[in-house]
Structure 1
Amino acid sequence: MSEAIEPSGVEPTIESSESDTDGNEEYGFGDLSVVMGTYNEEAAIGTVLADIERITDGKAEVVCVDGSSDRTPEIAREHGARVIEQEPQGYGVAVREAILAPDRPIVVTTDCDDTYPMEQLPKFLEAINAGYDVVSGDRLYHGAETMPGFNRLGNRLFALGASVLMGERVHDTTTGMRAYRREVVESIEWTENTGLSAELLIRPLMRGYDVREHPIDYAERLGETKLDPIEGGAAIAKSIVKVCLEERFR
């Protein structure tokens, strides 16, 4: 099921996993891999990686699947990230490789353009420790005023369409910031490219995993966008319909 969550003031542990008094495993930043596909983001990648290091006290692993022709991979390595080089094949191909590469128990996806708040990593981990399988950052909860109006409308329509097809309300299907338990990403065969962000929410939700949408702020991106809003929007809409129908009749 999907459930919205308001930010709380409780911080999770930042050490490696251990059992709490009830015998449940508590994950810390040492159990966390932050992954992303990177493509010519030298203007922002250093800021994103510095934020991750600061917020997690350097304990989180960072994995970048990169097809850049600029200094993005060099900057990533300078910040201690593991860089997997890949010929440019699209968003989904890179992110699919990124989520399956690390072996830590919790995987967080993000983008490398400094639009997502790394300050929310403790809250995402807190929700995982509360028992959720997927924690999905809801950019639209606070309005996403820095997002271009056309994109904002499109994202609301994607969420509405997916909600109708799934029979369950979701608010942001295409966010790039989510946390997953490793067993979730390893138990599902991911098929989409441009529409992978929607697939990464829809398939777990329709298979009965516990999903929580968590409100996040969304900042103006650094650098130029690589996605054409018309062509990309059409591909995402097609993926949403395809994935929902596949899961409905699976």
Structure 2
Amino acid sequence: MRAIVCLPTRNERDSIELMVRKIRKLKLPLFVSDENSTDGTLDIAKKLKVQVYQRKCSGKGCGVQTALEVATRKKFDVLVLIDCDNTYPVEKIPHMLSLMKEYDMVVGARDFSNVPFINRIGNIVHILAVNILFFASLKDINSGLRAMKVGKFKGLITAQRFDIEAQITCIALKKKMKILELPIEYNKRVGQSKLRLSDGISILWRIIAERF
């Protein structure tokens, strides 16, 4: 199966070079889905000769929509999404890809020890909501590291902001896709978090809306 990696970015100059170099060690094709970065992120990407696609609208969800369009157009079977803040273990990607013949989506499930307390509480609420509403037993619905079969999600993604991972998870559950969660370590992020309390509320609302 042909796989490609996407780094969604918005002002990630402190970490993008490190992430690109790590991913390139895996010998996998890579591109960036950017949201009008103004901090030099694009200059670094250009220096590293990474293909950059600008999002058509604002928000991480728009970045994922762009990523799916790119993967579809280039005829890749699997899209790997990984946050560009150096929190997720790039070295887990090959193992995730090795499982994609059996599963529709493989997710890196965090241990949450390095997740800030407020974010941890939000994640627990979101996980409980999904598991109750969809009769599931997932451990991490908001993970920023996942491999997904492109064809399974084509034309289904509408979320534009940080509710994107929740929507992807809910769609997979509604469509009865085969999901595997792999336990991963989660590192302290490089740079400032862009998540706000309002994002946590919108994620919860997304979960409820997807169910009803």
TM-score (ref. length: structure 1): 0.79
CA distance in 2, matches of 1:183, 1:87: 21
Question: Matched residues in 2 for 1:244 and 1:79: separation?
Answer: 42
Identity of aligned residues (%): 27
8 Å CA contact retained: 2:35, 2:63: yes
Aligned-partner residue type, residue 64 of structure 1: S
The structural deviation recorded for 1:88 is 6.1
Q: Match of 1:46, SS?
A: helix
1:106 counterpart (78, 81, 84): 78
| Deviation, structure 1 residue 154 | 1.2
* Paired letter, 1:232: D
Q: Does 1:117 align with 2:84?
A: no
Q: Tell me if structure 2 keeps the 8 A contact 1:64–1:76.
A: no
**Structure 2 CA distance, aligned partners of 1:85 and 1:167?**
37
Matched residues, number: 208
Alpha-carbon RMSD across the aligned residues, in angstroms, is 1.5
Instruction: Please identify the structure whose Cα radius of gyration is greater.
Output: 1
Q: 1:32 to 1:63 in 2, by over 3 A?
A: farther
TM-score, normalised to structure 2's length?
0.92
Find the aligned partners of 1:85 and 1:60 in 2 and give their Cα distance: 18
1:127, distance to aligned residue in structure 2 (A): 1.2
Is 2:21 the partner of 1:39? no
Moved more, 94-103 or 193-202: 94-103
User: Aligned pair in 2 of structure 1 residues 191, 87: CA closer, same or farther (>3 Å)?
Assistant: closer
Given candidates 47, 72, 83, the residue that maps to 1:78 is 47
5+ residue gaps, structure 2, are none
What secondary structure sits across from 1:135 in the alignment?
strand
Deviations 1:44-101 (A, max 9, x none): 11111111001x13x3232333320111112123223210124661121122212221
Structure 1, gaps ≥5 residues long: 1-26, 246-250
What is aligned with 2:177? 209
2:124 to 156, 180, 205: 156
* Distance in 1 separating the partners of 2:140 and 2:36: 27
Distance in 1, matches of 2:12 and 2:128, equals 31
Q: 1:86 to 1:183 in 2, by over 3 A?
A: closer
